[in-house]
Amino acid sequence: MIGRLLTAALVSGVLAGVLISVVHHFTTTPIILHAEHYEGMGGDDQTVMMWSDEVAGGQFYLAHGDEEHGDEVWAPENGLERTLYTSLANIITGVAFASLLIAGFHMRGDPVDGRKGVAWGVAGFVVFALAPAVGLPPELPGTLAGSVEARQFWWAFAAVSTGAGLWFLLLTRHIAMHAAGVLLIALPHIVGAPQAVLGRTVPPELAAHFVAASLGTGLVFWALLGWIGGKSYQRFVERPAEI
């Protein structure tokens, strides 16, 4: 059983990661390349290098480059190298999220197909992209930000709380669990995300365009992942004798 679950997760994650990489090439990547011209223009002694994670709606903070001492931070070259690393990151992220999705299917125990998978995928988008983006919208390179640790902790808090809240609200029948679900969904936003640093070197129009593009491609990714995940679960887990 574990082998079949892993196979479904791998197939779903790899396919969704490859497909969304194509979408990113025409949507968010051109915006990121444009924004990188503004990176390091904020006058700070330290520049935070960011690898944008459009799938999850957040960022990976790679390293701190100290301009005063001439420290250099590695980054992939534009062109084929960057495309390959972006695709690899998307595939790894896809497999990780597909594993969570397949585990959710198995824990729930109901029959799953492509349509039900899309519903689960949209829920995943809300949990891992939309809800955290309310407090911490996707950011471009060159955007000033607060403490990395505080932001990462709040992002994880928002995702876990929203996921638990949706589970209680949509997959239970007791009114008390529904009330708890609503409270859990609202809790991260009641607590509040870490305060952002005022000011930015990226034009606000470009930043707004990136937020919209990131959330849009995030929704496409999760819908793809849900549909492929539902089909893969049906094929490899529910009906393994047909393989």
Q: Which amino acid is at 35?
A: A
Does 187 map to a domain? no
Helix H segments across the chain? 2-26, 28-35, 80-108, 114-125, 131-135, 148-171, 175-191, 204-233
Mean pLDDT confidence for 108-133: 93
Does 174 map to a domain? no
The CA distance from 177 to 31, in Å, is 42
Domain count for the chain: 1
Name the residue range of residue 93's domain: 2-145+196-242
* Verdict on whether the full-model pTM lies above 0.75: yes
Does 191 map to a domain? no
Mean pLDDT confidence for 55-69: 44
pLDDT category of residue 157 using cuts at 50, 70 and 90: very high
Does 85 map to a domain? yes
Q: Which amino acid is at 125?
A: F
Q: What are phi and psi of 50, to 5 degrees?
A: -120, 140
What per-residue confidence (pLDDT) applies to 50? 42
Does 171 map to a domain? no
pLDDT category of residue 64 using cuts at 50, 70 and 90: very low
Instruction: Examine the pLDDT at 41 and tell me if it is beyond 90.
Output: no
What per-residue confidence (pLDDT) applies to 61? 38
pLDDT category of residue 108 using cuts at 50, 70 and 90: confident
Does 72 map to a domain? yes
Instruction: Examine the pLDDT at 239 and tell me if it is beyond 80.
Output: no
Mean pLDDT confidence for 121-147: 86
DSSP assigned state of 238 = I
What per-residue confidence (pLDDT) applies to 156? 95
Instruction: Examine the pLDDT at 185 and tell me if it is beyond 60.
Output: yes
pLDDT category of residue 91 using cuts at 50, 70 and 90: very high
The CA distance from 200 to 39, in Å, is 10
151 close to 190: Cβ distance less than 8 angstroms: no
Residue 110 contacts by C-beta under 8 Å, 6 or more apart in sequence?
Answer: 116
